[in-house]
Each structure stands twice: as structure tokens, then as C-alpha cells.
A and B are shown apart, each in its own frame.
Chain A
Amino acid sequence: QQPVQSPQAVILREGEDAVINCSSSKALYSVHWYRQKHGEAPVFLMILLKGGEQKGHEKISASFNEKKQQSSLYLTASQLSYSGTYFCGTEIPRSQGGSEKLVFGKGTKLTVNP
């Protein structure tokens, strides 16, 4: 039930854009996005609960598709501070055979260079 994240790694120059995808084989209750910098704890970015929802957080935004099986995280005009590993966490409802616990993907390592 682990969500699949892609790509595994991205290298950008400052000012470039990136998209990180998170997909599930089953409809989800929610998608959570976190960023973890090297040697630090994961930090919450946003949660999406509704199909078709889009949310923004400064220049970082995310969408949740209508079927609630895929979410994408958009990073625009990237800054050096965006570097880190991005994790999506998903919850599958009991109605879909899930256990309602938050399961994280394997992460996407984002490196922003000057």
C-alpha cells in the first residue's frame, strides 16, 4: 500500500520548476506532503483531502486528482532552501481495504544548485 513517488531524484538550478508525483493503486482518504532536510526531521507542507483539490504554500503547491489516486507537488521558481527530500504520505480508507494509517512513499531527493 506504499504510494509510488516519481522521480526518485531531481537536480535543478535556482529559478527552475519541478513536479513530484505520488500515486496509489487505490482511492485515498488523504495525501500529506512533507519535506525533510538532511539531518533534520520531516516538516509538514500540506494535506489534500478532496478530489480535484489544489492548495498552495508560497511557491509550492499541490493537486489531488478527481479519482483521489494521484497527487502532484509543484515547486516553482525554486530556491536553494527548497533542497531536501520530499515525501508524500497517503491514507487508504477502510472501505478500500486500507488501515487508515499514514504510509510514506520512498521520497524524492531535490537538489537546487546556484
Chain B
Amino acid sequence: DTAVSQTPKYLVTQMGNDKSIKCEQNLGHDTMYWYKQDSKKFLKIMFSYNNKELIINETVPNRFSPKSPDKAHLNLHINSLELGDSAVYFCASSRRRAFEAFFGQGTRLTVV
């Protein structure tokens, strides 16, 4: 069983579209994250949720909206996609802050 699973693995879409990435963890962790990794491999945190509550909301465009229906799921919805949104998006979870984080396999988003 995959500990942190993301779907889809690849996403190619046109500018202006709206898309969602789903993430689920079966580790019983309290904290979940979304990271963006750009073409230069820079890994930047976007959001962090603890027990379904948003605790970190980095300076990302408000076109990005995370939703956590329960502790095991953290989805990312992106409106009006732009070329600059192209990147690999990683979901991760940890028992709590300052504990080992487990990453999903990533979603490679390409906006054309």
C-alpha cells in the first residue's frame, strides 16, 4: 500500500483551465503539506494543514485553493491555470511538525 498517494501523476492542460490534484495518506498522520518544485528543483512549501485546519499559507496566488475534507486527504484546486504554474507538485504528510515527512510521487503539471 502506498503511504502517500497523489493523482494524477501527469497533468497536461491549457491556460485558463481549472484542475485539481488529489492526495491521500494512510499513515494516520496529523499534518499534510503541498510543495511546489520548479524547473530548477527548488522545493517550496505552499500550504500546511494540521487536523484539517490550515496552519501555513505561503504567498501563493489565490487561484490555488487547498481543501482538506478529513485528516487523510488534502486536495489542491487550481483556477485559471497559467504557464508559470507548470511544475511538479508534491503532497507530503508527517505525524506532526518536526517529524519525518513522507512525500507522494508528485504530479507533473504542464500548462500549454
Residues of A within 8 A of B (CB): 29-30, 32, 36, 40-44, 47, 49, 85, 87, 91, 99-104, 106-107
Number of A-B contacts (CB under 8 A): 46
Q: Hey, which chain B residues are within 8 Å of A36, CB to CB? A: 41
Does B45 sit at the interface, judged by CB under 8 A? yes
Main SS of chain A's interface residues? Answer: strand
Q: Hey, which chain A residues are within 8 Å of B1, CB to CB? A: none
Q: Are B103 and A43 in contact (CB under 8 A)?
A: yes
Which residue of the partner chain B has the closest CB to A104? Answer: B43
Which residue of the partner chain B has the closest CB to A44? Answer: B100
Interface size in chain B (residues, C-beta < 8 A): 20
Question: If A47-B99, A101-B48 touch, does A41 touch B105 (CB 8 Å cutoff)?
Answer: yes
Q: Are A41 and B45 in contact (CB under 8 A)?
A: no
Contact with A along B19-30 (1 / 0, CB 8 A): 000000000000
Residues of B within 8 A of A (CB): 40-45, 48, 56, 58, 90, 97-106
Q: Hey, which chain B residues are within 8 Å of A106, CB to CB? A: 40-42
30 CB < 8 A contacts A-B: A29-B98, A30-B98, A32-B100, A40-B106, A41-B90, A41-B104, A41-B105, A41-B106, A42-B43, A42-B90, A42-B103, A43-B103, A44-B100, A44-B101, A44-B102, A47-B99, A49-B98, A85-B41, A91-B98, A100-B97, A101-B45, A101-B48, A101-B58, A102-B45, A102-B101, A104-B43, A104-B44, A104-B45, A106-B42, A107-B42
